[in-house]
Amino acid sequence: RGHSGSHPRMGAVDVVPFVPIRGIGMDEAVEIARRFGTTFAERHGIPVFFYEEAATSEARRNLVDVRRGGYEGLAEKLHDPGWRVDAGPQEPNERSGATAVGARMPLIAFNVNLHTEDLEIARSIAGAVRHVGGGLRYVKAMGLSLEDEGVVQVSMNLVDYRKTPIPRALELVRAEARRYGVAVEECELVGLVPIEALEEVASYYLQIPDFGVEQVIEYHLLPRDGEE
């Protein structure tokens, strides 16, 4: 109840994604997500919404839409007939809020820090880069201030790295930053990244058009589907 922070959230366990990596398809991930979400909601008395590939309606596919209003707006949201929960009680859990459970592709959390303290510049660039602002189709972005470091950040989620690769997002941020006379200070990768997502990074920046992960020694040591 007293929580606050920079990122939007609507629950203590805010989001639980199931991501097919190897040896499992998206259909199975959807089935697992819905089974887990139903059990989780019933066991803990927490409202659950299904999102992305597990969504029960197109209006709930985008996590941004599901989260909109945050914890503070949850009670009002649950009174809206259009937001009947997918599992659990039709009222907020005061202590735990609500939870979104979904199935999706691997998401890359990729942030770009800018050499400025002007938050409006980061917000403007984020608005130009994200899909809802007319930017890249599979990018979600927001501008944040990192006061301890004296910089601002364009914080991005790349939701389909095959169609919007890391270099494309970074170079658009860099180009927009130049409009304000601002340089990129450093980039940040939060969590893990699929090895295939690094193909385009190496291909673009090393200028090797036909580079593939098959050229990485360690790739051949990984188990194939069906192998232990």
- How far from chain centre, in Å, is Cα 168? 17
DSSP strand pairing (99-103 vs 15-18): parallel
Q: Which of 3, 7, 115, 220 is catalytic?
A: 7
What is the chain's alpha carbon radius of gyration, rounded to the nearest angstrom? 20
Active site residue 44: no
Which of 39, 45, 36, 47 shows the shortest CA–CA distance to 14?
Answer: 47
Q: In sequence order, what are the residues at sequence separation of 6 or more whose Cβ sits closer than 8 angstroms to the Cβ of residue 68?
A: 8, 77
Active-site annotation, residues: 7
